Amino acid sequence: MALRVVLLGATGVFGSRIASRLAGDARFALVFAGRHQASLEALREKLGDASVDVAELDVNHASLPDRLARLQPQLIIHTAGPFQGQDYRVAEACIACASDYIDLADGRVFVTGIERLQRRAKEAGRLVVAGASTVPALSSAVVDALRPRFRTLHSIEHAINPGNQTPRGDATVASILGYCGRPIRIWRAGRWNHAFGWMSGKPQVFPFGRRRVGVCEIPDLDLFPARYPEV
Ligand SMILES: NC(=O)c1ccc[n+]([C@@H]2O[C@H](COP(=O)([O-])OP(=O)(O)OC[C@H]3O[C@@H](n4cnc5c(N)ncnc54)[C@H](OP(=O)(O)O)[C@@H]3O)[C@@H](O)[C@H]2O)c1
């Protein structure tokens, strides 16, 4: 039996990458979901998988729990950001309709706060995962992988350079500009300090050249001090 997967935000930059990896794979019965039927159908056509269902739905609409339940998902992949300022209605609807849930959230408060659903998810036998993307999932995986090379960790600094040629989704741009100039709590020199979004810029050497980086409000800022307490 194929796993029934609802991909929320399927037409977005990241949603469509996931869609293209899952389409045509017999292990998955896919539903592309988002606010615009025509663009969902166009994506299905482009990927050439006529077995994909499409569902028009808005995460902000009161009918969301009912509409998701009617799709009978076993897994919902939520990519419809920005997650900053979102509540947990999608994850809660997943638990209610006995589906697992995974999202790409990069919102600091959103990702750290998902913990509060864990008890309900566990009782329902469901998996609820937030932040399954570059941060904090890949970033912490990199630190974990490098960790054995060091006797102690004194500090962790990580920077991402997405490249100027990569497409930009509205939700990603809204996410990363939302904290521009705003105060950001950072664990530095053994105590909590403040920096400001996209400020404290400095040049960073990457394998492909020198780029300017700035401070971002991401879940790692809370999760790393807890996960790597010696830092
Ligand atoms: N954690 C990380 O490291 C990381 C990495 C990459 C991306 N992200 C996050 O992933 C999210 C997606 O990024 P993206 O660049 O793919 O954004 P995007 O291209 O703007 O895609 C957003 C998708 O969500 C849909 N959508 C928007 N509002 C909706 C609503 N109210 N109800 C249902 N669907 C809705 C959009 O389709 P319609 O407008 O047609 O509904 C679109 O398909 C962003 O929040 C970004 O910050 C996180």
Give the domains, in start order, of the chain with CATH numbers.
Answer: 3-129 (3.40.50.720), 155-227 (no CATH)
pLDDT digits (tens, 9 = 90+) for 193-230: 999 999 989 999 999 999 999 999 999 999 999 999 99
CB-CB contact of 197 with 108 (8 Å): no
Encode pLDDT of 31-87 as tens digits. 999 999 999 999 999 999 999 999 999 999 999 999 999 999 999 999 999 999 999
Distance of alpha carbon 7 from alpha carbon 16, whole angstroms: 9
Check whether 131 has a pLDDT greater than 90: yes
- Confirm if 225 and 187 have CB atoms less than 8 A apart: yes
Looking at residue 94, its pLDDT comes to 98
| Residue 103: how many other CB atoms lie within 10 Å | 29
Low-confidence winner among 56-60, 128-132, 157-161 (lowest mean pLDDT): 157-161
User: What is the whole-number distance in angstroms between the Cα of residue 150 and the centre of ligand 1?
Assistant: 37
Residue nearest to atom 26 of ligand 1 (CA): 80
Q: What angle do CA 215, 220, 226 make, to 5 degrees?
A: 130
What is the average pLDDT score of the chain? 96
| Residue 162 pLDDT greater than 90, yes or no | no
* Angle at alpha carbon of residue 149, lines to 148 and 152, rounded to 5°: 80
The residue whose CA is least distant from atom 21 of ligand 1 is 12
Instruction: Please report which confidence band the pLDDT of residue 166 belongs to, taking 50, 70 and 90 as the band edges.
Output: confident
Q: Are strands 53-56 and 191-196 parallel, antiparallel or unpaired?
A: unpaired
Q: How confident is the model at residue 164 (pLDDT cuts 50, 70, 90)?
A: confident
Name 45's Cβ contacts closer than 8 Å, sequence gap at least 6. none
Percent of the chain at pLDDT exceeding 70 = 100
> Of ligand 1's atoms, which has the minimum distance to the CA of residue 40?
40
Question: Which residues line the pocket of ligand 1, CB cutoff 6 A?
Answer: 9-15, 34-36, 39, 58-60, 79-83, 104-106, 131, 133-135, 169-172, 175
From CA 125, how far away is CA 123, in angstroms rounded?
5
**Residue 165's pLDDT band (cuts 50, 70, 90):** confident
Residue 161: what pLDDT?
87
Nearest CA residue ID for atom 47, ligand 1: 172
Pocket of ligand 1, candidates 7, 161, 172: which has the most ligand atoms within 8 Å of its Cβ, to mutate? 172
For the chain, give the number of residues: 231
